[in-house]
Structure 1
Amino acid sequence: MSNKSRRENAGSKSNPFAECSTCKHKFKNERYIRCLKCPKFAQCIQCLSLGIQNDLHFFTHNFIVVEPPASRQLYRENWDQEEEILLLYGIKMLGLGNWGDISDFMQSKTALECETHYINTYINSTNAPFPIRKILPEEPLPPPPPFDTRTVESAPSEGHAMHLKEKGKREPTTPAEYSDFMPYRHEFDKDKDFENDGEILVADIHFNCRDEQSQFLEKVEQLKNYNRILTERRFRTAVIEEWDIHHIEITGKNKNNMTEEDFDAQVLKGITREDKAVDKKLISLAPYLGKEKTVNLADLLHNRQKKVSLIENRQMWQVLGVKSLHEGQLFNALNAKIKDDKIIPSEIDDWNDRIHKYNIKHGKSTSTEDENLLEKEKELISKENLSSHIYLVYKNLLIREFTIWGKLPRSKLRMMPKEHQRHLEAVYDLCVELGWIAAA
């Protein structure tokens, strides 16, 4: 029978044993013993501990402990004064929240009853942290949780042997498994987490009313430093989980040789050398931009880089006199086969075959552009070592600008890229000479 039940039973009827049968001590709300062989014999705890006996009662007789009658309620109908004191003392000694230990200490209330009573009577009081000074009705207990609360063997980390066996693995292959990541706690193993010795900062901190101001401030600063470590841990873990970095499979040849650049490309999907250079710079912003914005920005930059490379390639074709897309593709193929200014011997047969197929498909490349040029234009092209196509581009540009603005001073040519200025000036002089444009 629990202490609570015994007190209630004892308090429900009048007490016939008002005093100790040996020392005549009056019982007042205290425990005493009652002999099972001597019906009218009662004894206080002090006499029992000394083994005092009389002509009829011997200390070898069996006895029971009689609990004092229940004290009156103080704040709740189902909580008496003694229980209130035991609850508060238990919280002070065992710590707020350790309801199981507090329940064991009290013996008359369950952990749920202790927690519910303290929160509703003290914490949720309008006079918190003090209770309302009147006896409130009995507080109903909350319903049991809708999940299984029974204890089970803990295997929280993904690298636990049980989880690896479920996945059919003999050894860990992802960072989450290497680092013993615990997904439900959103934490890594304490020995593998960021600043894993951070708890040392607060391990021996105890605040005391006798602390000097400097000691108190030093302890507060230690707590702040520890909080910074916790904040950084949460931040880093949130980034890892958002990008799902910890589940990237790292196996085989790249298990120990995966470079930072390889990782950046794997996350942001860069392919070319230029894309990977962009990814390397962009990845440092990823924790602050978020995954969606970082991936979108990387895609935009990769696309821009692709177009820039395409434009530069086409400009090079123009400078070299490439007249068509097919010629340009042939030129690129040739470049890929050249090393140290020579075609790689193993690529010669392939190149000859490619040229043969090109001539069959496209025939000899001819152009009617030269046929429509004046002799002075042909002389200029030869003198300046220009292709007909590039010369016509320059000529069309100058005539178009003159038509739009009505004038085209020679000084305007200085605004053009330096690599084109000399040729543009030569074409400009010829156009002025032939009367196609007027010098300002």
Structure 2
Amino acid sequence: MALQDRDKKPCPGCSSCLIEPYIRCIVCGPPKVCICLQCFSHAWEDGKHQSDHDYEIIANQFSVLDSSWTAKEELKFLDAIGDCGLGNWQDVAVQVQTKTKLECERHYNRVFINNSRGLFPSLPQLTLVRRDPIICRMSEDPPRPSKETQRADMAGYTPARGDFNAEFDNYAEHDVLDIYFQGEEEPLLEQLKVAAVDIYSERLQERQRRKRMVRNYGLINIAKIQMTELGYDKVTKELNKSLNPFMKLQTPLAHDKLLEGLIYENDLKKEVKRLQEFRRNGIKSFKGARLFDQLKRRRERSNQQRTNHLSHVLNSTEDPGACCQLLQRFALLEAGHTELPPIIPSMRRAAPPLNLLDFPGYERLNEKEREMCASVRIIPEAYFEYKRIFQAEYQKLGYLKLKHARNLIRIDVNKIRKLFDFLIKECVISNGNETEEVDRFEPVNRFEPVS
């Protein structure tokens, strides 16, 4: 709950006047974004406010200073005193609307004049925790994440219990489960039991040490650590990975300082190498260094383009049309043209034959049918179905044309042509003793004069 805002604004979602209770976003601002309950139920958003932001409910129907006065009435009462002045209780009561003149006067005297305990209870002093630059330090107890946090992202940490699912050396208690010291007569057996308890105590200390390291180094939220490491460059990631085994030998702050020092050392080495390169090339001014960097980047781009051209040549060796386009591209490049046309391959690589051994119906195919199905990439069951459809249409009409076959099944037209030619060649169907030359090659010119 929170007190009412003095300068209440209309709802940005529906432009209606905000009536308590309403919702105020605690992420956006200033100014704070306040929306009505109806817009909140419809998950209203704009360019800045999002529906998953944290929020608070603004409602003043609760007591603050007096059990018979609500927070809303207290605010109206204080505003009325500021407008009308002390002693003018009649006008103050008119502005409050829910209290009489006598009630306003008694409330003021009881709460603000004769109250010896003070208006508000004293709150405990808050202490601020300093956060280090690289790793956010955890408190002594692991934090309780929100309900939406996945347990798998919390290193086995259970938010409801504030503890881990499985402890380090989780079965250490089994070794001391049946040890009793009451009525022990043999000294040797008693010493063995004491030694077992000492070993168990050391194992508990190691367990607590590991849990303390997980908390102090912020290793509970694995997703957060991964998101932080995404911002590191390659050198920082390698340094962080190589230093992880030494984290237990020093404090978290000392580990962070060591990592930052090594990163700074690596940056200095890069800068020294850069300056040494300038000196080897006879550069003694920063102006010449800038010009050298520009020319160096230009040379690197040129070498990269040559590498790309070589890859184009290797990819176009089996395509004569693409080779011709590539030679034209090189000629334009040597002439100084910057806008070069793309290389369009003129032929498509044939797909490898299909292995039919693992498909059902393979044993029903003869040698020619197996070769045809493998090259055309048709499985045996589909071949038998297409063959049955073609035979049924052939028996119905007495012949079967290629254009009719294309309407019977809906697959690639090239596969239909090869399948149709194979069935014609094997005398499974007939095209009525009419050739398909016109359909196979270019169409006849209809406007050619007839002799």
Q: TM-score, normalised by structure 1?
A: 0.33
Q: TM-score, normalised by structure 2?
A: 0.32
Larger radius of gyration: 1
